[in-house]
Amino acid sequence: MVFRRLWLSVVVPVVVLVLAVVALPPAAAAAEPGPSAVQRAADALRDAGVTGVSVRLQTPSGTVTARSGVGDLATRRPVPQDGYLRLGSTTKTFVATVVLQLVGEGRLSLDQTVEQLLPGVVSGAGNDGRTITVRDLLQHTSGLYDYTPTVFTDPSARTYYANRWRAYRPDELVALAMRHAPDFPAGTDWAYSNTNYVLAGMVIEKVTGQTWERQVNDRILRPLGLRDTDTPGTWPFLPQPHAANYQQFAVDGPMVDTTLPYRPFDSGADGSMTGTARDLNRFFAALAGGRLLEPRELAAMRTTVPVPRDSGQPAGTGAGLGLFSTPLSCGGSYVGHGGSGFGYVVEAAATTDGQRTLTVSTHSRPADPRTAARQADLLHELIDHALCRAS
């Protein structure tokens, strides 16, 4: 997660699109962010312990980039310019966009139930697909148990190495979740669950007769010319160039190279895509700018429910359909979605008109909660400063 692996809280606190509210003087809020300001923010993350950082901000005035730290601890090579990234849960925004396109075409309804679309799949242990709608899946109001703790029970490097090559089918992951009672009745609360988007991918395949990957490629990647974005499934290798990702599994323990994904939860519609910051900014500009969805479906995507305060979110954060809305300290808000896994965090953000977009990637994650919290604060201060100064 940011928003994808709530179970990672046992390793390091995970923030779901948290924005540190930073007061800016009026003059700063009106100025375009210069390369030096963005570079200083990237360097601050490096100084807080992140091994490698990359930032790409695009505005009507041009593009600002920054890199800091190293792309590989062994060779000390620099972080590559616009290198390939694991997108993690940012995949969910692509999947939600396809679902909403199908809604706009009349092939699907947000009010249809999971049972109507996938008979018998959501049942057992108090789970009832007759009460859960497509909207609940996309908005994380289904109450369904997040399957991820069942495939990573021991937060250790040993478990990562032992299981990283194993892959599950979507129906197997859902079956694991169905062994657990729901967290709450559908539509009565909010809780982030990767199970929701495994099911969303299954819904796409049921409605179209094609995989969610094929639909994302045909409907989004090719039309937008996102040639460096991919749906690799269980293929574990990132294209070159890319920075290495490092996870610290224990406080005072070593940084473990986790550039290869943990495939039990890095292979599906909830978080398997790869891409570049350039492509990710282009996608969010098109989405926020109304080029991928008709007005009715875009409005549905941006209609939010409050994220509970005990989830660590600031006042005003809302969850839409595959999209989060977060307040800016200078007024207004931005939309976006982030992703994380072992050793990396990606944050993608866009102003509501799509004119300004930002992708920040960090390539290590610490085990110490205080260090993790400090890095999270700096990351979201960077987003806030960059978008406020650009707006």
> Per the domain annotation, does 271 fall within a domain?
yes
Q: What's the pLDDT tens digit per position in 127-137?
A: 999 999 999 99
Answer with the residue of higher pLDDT: 21 or 206. 206
> Per the domain annotation, does 1 fall within a domain?
no
Q: Alpha-carbon dihedral of residues 344, 308, 310, 330, nearest 10 degrees? A: 70
Q: Residue 81 is which amino acid?
A: Q
Give the chain's domain count: 1
Which residues does the annotation mark as catalytic?
89
Split at pLDDT 50, 70, 90, the class of 26 is: very low
Split at pLDDT 50, 70, 90, the class of 33 is: low
> Per the domain annotation, does 338 fall within a domain?
yes
Answer with the residue of higher pLDDT: 20 or 264. 264
End-to-end CA distance of the chain: 26
> Per the domain annotation, does 336 fall within a domain?
yes
> Per the domain annotation, does 79 fall within a domain?
yes
Q: Alpha-carbon dihedral of residues 256, 94, 297, 384, nearest 10 degrees? A: 40
Q: What's the pLDDT tens digit per position in 92-117?
A: 999 999 999 999 999 999 999 999 99
**Cα distances (Å, whole numbers) of residue 259 to 40, 71, 291:** 26, 11, 33
> Per the domain annotation, does 381 fall within a domain?
yes
pLDDT value, residue 266 = 83
> Per the domain annotation, does 119 fall within a domain?
yes
**Which CATH number does the domain housing residue 129 bear?**
3.40.710.10
Predicted TM-score (pTM) above 0.95: no
> Per the domain annotation, does 110 fall within a domain?
yes
β strands within the chain, DSSP E:
52-59, 62-69, 84-86, 123-124, 127-128, 246-248, 255-257, 274-276, 305-306, 318-319, 324-327, 333-341, 344-351, 357-362, 364-365
The range of the structural domain enclosing residue 95 comes to 6-390
